[in-house]
Amino acid sequence: MRRGPVRATGVERTFDEGRLIVSKTDRKGIIRYVNALFLEVSAYREEDIVGQPHNVIRHPDMPRCVFRLLWDRLAAGREIFAYVVNLAGDGSHYWVLAHVTPTFDRGGAVTGYHSNRRAPGRPAVQRIEQLYADLSATERRHTRPADAIEASTGMLDAYLAQRGQDYDEFVWELAGAPAGTVR
The answer to whether position 53 is within a domain reads: yes
The answer to whether position 27 is within a domain reads: yes
Report pTM.
0.90
Show the domain range for 153: 21-172
The answer to whether position 7 is within a domain reads: no
Residue 5: predicted pLDDT? 80
The answer to whether position 79 is within a domain reads: yes
Inter-CA distances, 85 with 18, 67, 72, 99, 103, Å = 18, 11, 19, 14, 23
Residue 176: predicted pLDDT? 85
Number of domains within the chain: 1
| Cα–Cα dist 163/159, whole Å | 6
Residue 177: predicted pLDDT? 61
- Please choose, from the candidates 68, 28, 74, the residue with its C-alpha nearest in 3D space to the C-alpha of residue 51: 28
Q: Mean pLDDT of residues grouped by 10 in the chain (183 residues)?
A: 75 94 96 98 96 95 95 94 97 97 95 96 94 97 96 97 95 76 45
The answer to whether position 111 is within a domain reads: yes
The answer to whether position 102 is within a domain reads: yes
CATH number of the domain encompassing residue 107? 3.30.450.20
